[in-house]
């Protein structure tokens, strides 16, 4: 694998690779050429560090991202007629993320994604207090979480992948968390239209870690809400929540509930049955393992776009943008409730405060590892 460090204001790398052998009626193999390209442009500085805008391009789709916040800003992918459109909630430029508040559009959430009840936890008998930035609770790493940090980037490429490797050292005590936590994040686009996100973290003292990506998807191309999308989850259970969206500690079977997406369901029907939307953890595994599991399949019948999600984690937070309201987004669009959905691969929320949940604790000498894949395709 080849790494390209970014020190200039703009860099372009491209290459042509042969893959996906096809045959003609005479059975002679024909090579399909795939152009993999990375574009990088310095667009700003934040706290003395360069902020880059990247475009990963495989000839069919493009992923735009930034080392500010480990951010995915756009995913541009074709519909069944070949029309390419952005399928994420976003701003027009990366620079706007530096100055405009937003509900974690495309962001890397950490050290702990999701909520911690009352911003409190204990570790080896010691009590820790975190920022309360979501009512009385701690959310997505606090006031200045990983979504507001400038990561140190390198680009890379091989025969089937283009991507950006980013690193960030979170110092001991940042946002109230113990330990110096070193995290490496890879964001890459493959020749088969898969956006792969990988995390690795190590620490010098016992701490807690739960990292994810918080992209809001809309496979219809940002024309209206996502209520016409069809969802299928390979989940037999979910974790119910209280009025503050904190898990109660129960693990409940989805059978007979609006959370039963084991067969494909139209989102509008399930939201109506659930009384307004979803912001819940779907249980994908009960124990941690490195097995990549098919978590979710999402179809948008009108455009033909399909997104399949895979992960090696134990849960996925299904959020239907319930709290988005009159938000001025990209291309002059106004985003409202249910204009997007998030599929946040994760450990179960508030796990440090529930002994029956998979542990989020990371100790020195251990490595936190987490992989997410979003694969895009079309159906006629």
The active-site residue out of 138, 140, 214, 338 is 214
3-class SS at 343? strand
State the pLDDT confidence band at 20, using cuts at 50, 70 and 90. Answer: very low
Is residue 68's pLDDT more than 90? yes
Which residue spans within 47-180 are E strands per DSSP?
A: 49-57, 62-66, 71-78, 84-86, 107-109, 115-116, 120-123, 126-129, 138-139, 152-157, 161-170
pTM of the predicted model as reported, rounded to 2 decimal places: 0.92
Q: Which residue has the higher pLDDT, 70 or 9?
A: 70
User: What's the confidence (pLDDT) of residue 12?
Assistant: 56
Measured between alpha carbons, how far is 26 from 41 in angstroms, rounded to an integer? 46
CATH architecture of the domain covering 2-20+31-378: Distorted Sandwich (2.70)
Catalytic residue among 188, 344, 370, 373: 344
- By percentage, how much of the chain surpasses pLDDT 70? 91
pLDDT at 7: 36
pLDDT at 18 over 50: no
Q: Are 111 and 177 in contact (CB under 8 A)?
A: yes
Residue 28 has a pLDDT of 44
- pLDDT over threshold 60, residue 16: no
Q: Tell me the pLDDT of the chain averaged across its residues.
A: 92
- Chain-centre distance of CA 379, in angstroms? 24
Q: What is the pLDDT of residue 234?
A: 98
Confidence band for 336, pLDDT divided at 50, 70 and 90: very high
DSSP secondary structure code for residue 268 in this structure:
H
In whole angstroms, what separates CA 17 from the centre of its chain?
A: 28
pLDDT reading at 9 higher than 70: no
Please state which of the ranges 26-35, 108-117, 217-226, 264-273 shows the lowest mean pLDDT. 26-35
Q: Decide if 56 contacts 189 (C-beta within 8 A).
A: yes
- pLDDT at position 303 is 98
284-330: pLDDT as tens digits = 999 999 999 999 999 999 999 999 999 999 999 999 999 999 999 99
> Mean pLDDT, to the nearest integer, of 140-149?
97
Helix, strand, coil abundance in the chain, percent, nearest 5: 5, 50, 45
Mean pLDDT confidence for 6-25: 41
Average pLDDT over residues 57-71: 98
Residue 214: active-site member: yes
The percentage of residues in the chain with a pLDDT greater than 90, rounded to a whole number, is: 90
| Catalytic residue check, 280 | no
Q: What is the reported pLDDT for 214?
A: 98
């Amino acid at each position: 694998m080849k790494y390209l460090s970014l020190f200039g204001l703009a860099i372009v790398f491209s290459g042509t690779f042969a893959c996906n052998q096809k045959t003609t009626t005479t059975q002679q193999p024909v090579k399909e050429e795939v152009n993999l390209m990375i574009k990088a442009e310095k667009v700003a500085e934040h706290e003395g560090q360069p902020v880059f805008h990247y475009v990963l391009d495989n000839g069919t789709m493009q992923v735009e991202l930034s080392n500010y916040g480990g951010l995915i800003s756009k995913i541009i992918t074709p519909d069944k007629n070949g029309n390419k459109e952005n399928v994420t909630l976003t701003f027009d430029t990366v620079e706007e993320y530096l100055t405009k508040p937003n509900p974690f559009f495309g962001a890397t959430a950490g050290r702990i994604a999701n909520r911690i009840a009352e911003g409190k936890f204990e570790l080896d008998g010691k009590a820790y207090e975190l920022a309360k930035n979501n009512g009385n609770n701690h959310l997505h790493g606090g006031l200045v979480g990983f979504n507001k940090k400038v990561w140190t980037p390198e680009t890379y490429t091989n025969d089937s992948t283009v991507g950006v490797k980013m690193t960030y050292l979170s110092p001991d005590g940042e946002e109230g968390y113990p330990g110096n936590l070193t995290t490496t994040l890879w964001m890459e686009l493959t020749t088969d239209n898969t956006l792969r996100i990988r995390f690795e973290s190590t620490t010098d003292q016992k701490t807690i870690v739960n990292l994810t990506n918080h992209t809001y998807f809309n496979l219809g191309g940002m024309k209206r809400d996502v209520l016409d999308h069809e969802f299928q989850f390979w989940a037999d259970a979910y974790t119910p929540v209280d009025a503050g969206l904190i898990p109660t500690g129960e693990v409940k079977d989805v059978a007979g509930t609006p959370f039963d997406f084991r067969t494909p369901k139209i989102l509008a029907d399930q939201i109506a049955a659930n009384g307004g939307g979803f912001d819940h953890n779907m249980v994908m595994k009960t124990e941690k393992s490195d097995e990549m599991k098919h978590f979710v399949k999402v179809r948008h019948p009108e455009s033909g776009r399909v997104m399949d999600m895979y992960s090696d984690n134990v849960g996925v937070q299904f959020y239907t943008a319930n709290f988005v309201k009159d938000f001025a987004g990209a291309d002059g669009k106004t985003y409202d409730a249910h204009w997007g959905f998030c599929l946040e691969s994760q450990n179960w929320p508030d796990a440090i405060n529930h002994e029956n949940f998979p542990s989020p604790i990371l100790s020195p000498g251990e490595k936190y590892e987490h992989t997410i894949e979003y694969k895009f395709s079309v159906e006629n």
